[in-house]
Amino acid sequence: METESIAVEVRPRAGFEAVDLGFRFARAIFWPLFPAHAIVVAAFAFALYAGLGTRLWLAALLVWWLKPLYDRVALAVLAEALFGRVPTLLETLASVPRLITTTGLLQSLTWLRFSPLRSFTAPVLQLEGLRGIERSRRVSVLVGRDSSAALGLFFACSTFELVIFAAGLQLAATLRPEGEMAEFWAGVLGGAGPQLTWIEAVLYTLAIAAIEPLYVAGGFALYVNRRVWLEGWDVDLAFRRLEQRALARGIRARLARGASLGVLAIALLLPGLAHAQCEVPGPAGAGPCIDAVLADPEFSTVEKVELWLPKESAPQSSEPGLLGRFVLWLGSVGATLLRVGAWLALALVVAALAIVILRALRARERAPEAVAPDESQVRFGLDLRPEALPPDVIAAALARFSAGDAPGALSLLYRGALVHLVRGLGLRVPASATEGECERIARAALDSGLASDFALLTRAWVFCAYAHEAPAPEAFAELCQRWRPHLGASP
């Protein structure tokens, strides 16, 4: 994982501080995140409401149930944006079919649907691709620290969804004719009619589109923060920065010697500049200066403020006159036009989504397919394909070490050992495993001799890769001698 390209500051955080970071990150990528999520929610909601028009309560229930499906779109955008590549809206919409058909969605919509920690644990299923027992073990490690923050995030986002829903109903009640607000709320609480049920369904869809991306972003930030605690991403970045500073230190030293001459020259010129004086007008000449300042547009701007105040209600006649009937007719026509326009806008959104997806799929079929690297054959940046190794790993590693490339020699030897354990002995190592986790898996599954050899090689690789401490030639020769029988090298 390329931690140096992460778009946020990497450091261990408390649970709710990580949630706040997720909210701020979601606001920073608002346009790639929220419109893509809202389009997917609106498309599914429109299809369900149109197909189950006589049973809107069932359609609204299905819109709520499919939240994990919408979350996959938001999580895909957040995961790519975290490493510096923010996807466009077209790219996100084109990836929707792949996100829907990816394995693991059925689990998210069945027995994992009622988990209040689903935004925290969703990356394990979608990004790491773990299933079954491996997923359960991974989740048990992750939620051991920040589960209370994940529960707080769940209850806070659920509350704000209800707040937006209730605020929309109050707005609809306020726009009713005078004296009908109580009747409107009685219909909401007692048994809504068809029109009121449609309003409730649309409002709840809008609440999901507004709050659910924040819920996913908060849970994803908790997941990233937990991995920082477990895997030491901040330590890895600190080592990388130290290496870069060491390279830049020599350049700065040379520049400092040249800059000191410039500073000396400026210091010699400052006394001469200090004698230069500006004419300061006396009290008698300050009037024109003040008038010139007040004539500036910043001081002559006139701001008009318009206030809406309630007026006294005038006594109304029992029946409206001709003008009143005309105004009521205009209001009903306007309401009808707004309702038709809203449905037309939803239909246009769905049609545009279908057109964009079809165009993207056709463009992908026409373009040459790039061979994507198999993530299952890569661990912490090391290529574990057998064909990527030389025929004689031991001889190649010794040659690199003799040439002064200790990291390259240890990398080659460590890769050869992993290929032997994974390909030759069938050791199951998850794609998200670190060096320490690989060592623990080897100790549990292999015999003591081979596990001890792998532990020695792992420690030598970690010290060389992260602490830049190369082993002594005798120690490296002993490692090669230990692994010579396993890697099939010639004596």
pLDDT tens across 315-367, in order? 555 566 676 677 777 777 777 777 767 777 777 788 788 888 878 777 766 65
Q: What is the pLDDT of residue 236?
A: 66
Q: Mean pLDDT for the chain?
A: 79
- Confidence at residue 478, expressed as pLDDT on a 0 to 100 scale: 87
- Max avg pLDDT among 46-50, 283-287, 325-329: 46-50
What pLDDT shows up at residue 373? 42
387 against 87, higher pLDDT = 87
Of the segments 4-8, 180-184, 196-200, which one has the largest average pLDDT value? 196-200
Residue type at position 180: E
CB neighbour list of residue 6: distance below 8 Å, 6 or more residues apart: 82, 83, 84, 233
Per cent of the chain over pLDDT 90 is 22
Q: How confident is the model at residue 26 (pLDDT cuts 50, 70, 90)?
A: very high
In this prediction, residues 129-149 reach a mean pLDDT of 87
Q: Which of 194-203, 212-221, 283-292, 402-411 has the lowest mean pLDDT?
A: 283-292
Q: What percent of the chain has pLDDT over 70?
A: 74
Cα 287 from Cα 347, distance rounded (Å): 66
Does the structure show a pLDDT above 90 at 460?
A: no
Residue range 229-241: average pLDDT?
Answer: 71
Name the pLDDT band for 75 (thresholds 50, 70, 90): very high
Note the pLDDT of residue 371: 40
In this predicted structure, the answer to whether residue 253 has a pLDDT above a threshold of 80 is no
pLDDT in tens, 162-173: 999 999 888 888
Q: What pLDDT does 277 receive?
A: 44
Q: What is the pLDDT of residues 397-412, one digit of tens each?
A: 888 888 888 888 888 8
- Which of 161-165, 195-199, 225-229, 249-253 shows the lowest mean pLDDT across its residues? 249-253
Place of tokens 């050992």: 417
DSSP symbols for 232-255: -HHHHHHHHHHHHHHHHHHHHHHH
Where is pLDDT greater, at 458 or 236?
Answer: 458
pLDDT of residue 245: 67
Contact between 227 and 233 under an 8 Å Cβ cutoff? The reply is: yes
What's the pLDDT at 369? 45
pLDDT of 295 higher than 90: no
- Rounded Cα distance between 58 and 64, Å, is 10
Q: Say whether pLDDT at 128 is over 80.
A: yes
Contact of 29 with 86, CB cutoff 8 Å? yes
In the predicted model, what is the mean pLDDT of residues 369-394?
A: 62
Average pLDDT over every residue of 226-246: 72
Provide the pLDDT for residue 178.
67
Residue 212 has pLDDT above 90, yes or no: yes
pLDDT for 262-277, tens place per residue? 566 565 555 555 444 4
Residue 280, pLDDT above cutoff 80 = no
pLDDT reported for residue 411: 85
Segment 31-59 mean pLDDT? 89
* pLDDT at residue number 341: 72
Per the CB < 8 A criterion, the answer to whether 95 and 16 are in contact is no
Residues 6+ apart with CB under 8 A from 3: 10, 233, 236, 237
In the numeric block, the tokens 């707005």 are attached to 171
pLDDT for 272 equals 52
d(CA 481, CA 489): 10
pLDDT at 368: 47
